[in-house]
Amino acid sequence: MRLPHPIPYQGSKRKLAHLIGRYVPKSATFYEPFCGSGAMTIYAAHKGLANRFVLGDSLEPIVRLQQAIVEMPAKTADRYQTVWEGQTSDNFGYFNDVRARYNADRDAVDLLYLICRCVKNAIRFNKAGNFTQSHDKRRLGTHPEKMRAAIHGVSQILKGKVEYRVGDWLETTFDADPDDFVYMDPPYLGTSVGPDKRYHQQMTQEPLIAGLAKLNARSVPFVLSYDGMTGDKEYGPPLPDHLGMTRLLLHAGMSSQATLSGRKEETVESLYLSADLAEPVDGVIRAPAQLSLTL
C-alpha cells in the first residue's frame, strides 16, 4: 500500500521509512521532535509500532499544519483547494503574494501550498523566519484532489493518537522514558553552516551531541538520521564514539542536484542507533527494488 504523504518536504524520510523502520522497536509513545513531513510517525502508526505519538517541531506553523491535517482533514483540504485554485496562468505574482501573506500571518495551509509549489519542495528561511524560496515554474504543486486524499489518509491513521508540541527537541521530548522511542531528523550540519541554510533554525553538532548524551543518561532508545555523503562529498564528520551509537549507511537515491549538473551521484545518509538496537553492517544498506514502488 502507498502511504499518504501530504507534506512533500525535500529530505522527507518517506522513501527511507521502510529501511529505518527495521530498527524501530514497539514503544509506548513514539516521539518525532523534528517532525517536518511526519513521515516516520505516519509509518510507525501504520505499522502499529506505538499507540501514542508526539509530533513536535520548533517551527510552530508546521506543527499547526500537522494538527490541522490530522484533526480537521476536511476543513484543511478545503482551505488548501481554495489557495491552490487562486493561481492562474496570467497571475505570475500569486506565489509571491501567498508567500508574503504567510510571512506576515504564519498561516499553516499557506505554508503547505508554498512547500508544494516551491522549487524542488526545498524550503528556505531567512534569519527572521520568513519563507524565501521561489516557485517552481514547471508545475502548480499538488492537485487539490490528490492532496485531499492524502490528508484524509493521514487523519485516518493518526487521529486520536497524537499530541502536538512546539519547541526545542529536548523540550518536546522531556517526558520520554525507556519504554518510549524517539526518532530524530534534525537539520544536517551541511545545511546549518555555510551559505545554504534551509531551516528556520540551524543546529551545530555541539548541542546535538549534548542532547543525545542526555537521552542516553535517561536510557531512552532513539534513532537519528543525520549527515551523509553525495559522491565523494561528505556533509559532516561522524558523531563521537563515546555516545555508544551504531552507525549505519542507507542508500537514499540519486542526488537531484548532481543530476541537474549532469553528474550521476548516489546519496548516502547516516543512521545512528542508540545502544542495543542494531549491530554494525558493512557497506551501504539498500532497499529492495519492489519496495520503492509502494512508499
For the chain, domain boundaries = 1-224
pLDDT band for position 145 (cuts 50, 70, 90): very high
Assign 3-state DSSP to the chain and report helix, strand, coil percentages, each to 5: 40, 20, 45
The span from the CA of 146 to the CA of 188, in Å, is 30
pLDDT higher than threshold 80 for residue 195: no
Kindly report the average pLDDT of the chain as a whole number: 88
Q: What secondary structure letter does DSSP report for 53? A: E
Minimum mean pLDDT among 53-67, 150-164, 206-220, 234-248: which range? Answer: 234-248
Mean pLDDT confidence for 90-95: 86
Homologous superfamily of the 1-224 domain (CATH): Adenine-specific Methyltransferase, Domain 2 (1.10.1020.10)
Mean pLDDT confidence for 145-151: 98
pLDDT score for 90: 74
In the block, residue with C-alpha cell 542494531: 278
β-pair partners for 246: 273
Question: What single string gives the DSSP state of each residue in 203-246?
Answer: --HHHHHHHHHHHHHTT--EEEEEEEEETTEESSPPPPGGG--E
Higher model confidence: residue 102 or residue 232?
Answer: 102
Nearest Cα to Cα of residue 122 among 199, 202, 55, 226: 199
Using CA of residue 112, residue 118, residue 124, residue 128, what is the dihedral sign?
A: negative
Write down the pTM of the prediction: 0.89
pLDDT band for position 35 (cuts 50, 70, 90): very high
pLDDT score for 254: 59
pLDDT higher than threshold 70 for residue 258: no
